[in-house]
Amino acid sequence: MLEGHFLLSSGRHSNRYFQCAKLLQYPDRAAAALRGVADRLRTDISAGKLAIDAIVGPAMGGIIVAYELGRQLGLPAFFTERDDTGAMKVRRGFEVTPGQRILIAEDVVTTAKSSGESAAVLESLGAKVAALACIVDRRAEGITAPWPLYPAVKMDVANWDAADCELCKKGIPAVKPGSRKI
C-alpha cells in the first residue's frame, strides 16, 4: 500500500494506492494472498451455490490474479484487454462460448468499472458472469458490485471525486500509477 496523491484507474482520487504488482511479483506470496479466496470459491462451488467454467482477468491488474486462481482451482484463466481505441476486448484467440460461466478476477476493486467493461464484452459473446474475485476490495460505502464478491481483504480507504479531493485543493499533484490505457 503506497501513500501519496493518486489518480485511480476509476478516475477517482485517493491518498492510498494498492500496488498489487509488488505483491504478485512473488509467486509464493501471490499464492498465499489468494488461498483464502480460492477456498471460499471452492466451498461455494462444492455447495452448489456457484458454478465457474473459466476465470477472466481484465489486463493488466487482473491477469496474474486470474492465473493464480485458475492454478489453485484447476480452471482455465485468460484475460480481456483494451484495443487501440481503449475498448475492452477478448483478443489473442481466447474463446468465449455461449453459456460459459465466468469468474472475473481483479487486483483491486474500487468501483468495479474494469470488471463491468469486461463483463459487458464477455456477455456480448454469450458468457455469463457468475462472480467477482479480487485481492483488495476498497469500494466506498454504497458502491455495489452486480455479482457476488470474493475479496482477499476489505479495506476502508477513502477515495473522492476529483472535484472533492482535499489533496487537489492543496495543490498537490496527483500521480497515476494504474494502467487503464494498457
Q: How far apart are CA 50 and CA 132, in angstroms?
A: 11
What torsion, rounded to 10 degrees, do the Cα atoms 133, 42, 97, 119 define? -20
Q: Give 129 or 165: the residue with its C-beta nearer to Zn ion.
A: 165
Cell numbers that stand for 37 in this block: 479466496
Q: How far apart are CA 25 and CA 150, in angstroms?
A: 22
Q: Give 13 or 139: the residue with its C-beta nearer to Zn ion.
A: 13
Pairing of strands 128-137, 101-109: parallel
Taking phi over 0 as left and psi of -120 to 50 as alpha, with beta for the rest, 115 belongs to alpha
In the bound complex, what is the minimum distance in angstroms from residue 128's beta carbon to Zn ion? 37
In the bound complex, what is the minimum distance in angstroms from residue 174's beta carbon to Zn ion? 5
For Zn ion, the binding residues (CB under 5 A) are 13, 165, 167-168, 174
Q: Give 99 or 171: the residue with its C-beta nearer to Zn ion.
A: 171
Q: Which of 96, 109, 7, 100 is CA-nearest to residue 65?
A: 109
In the bound complex, what is the minimum distance in angstroms from residue 112's beta carbon to Zn ion? 21
Nearest residue to the partner Zn ion, using Cβ: 165
In the bound complex, what is the minimum distance in angstroms from residue 167's beta carbon to Zn ion? 4
Q: Give 143 or 174: the residue with its C-beta nearer to Zn ion.
A: 174
In the bound complex, what is the minimum distance in angstroms from residue 163's beta carbon to Zn ion? 9
Residue linked to cell 480460492: 38
Q: Give 93 or 173: the residue with its C-beta nearer to Zn ion.
A: 173
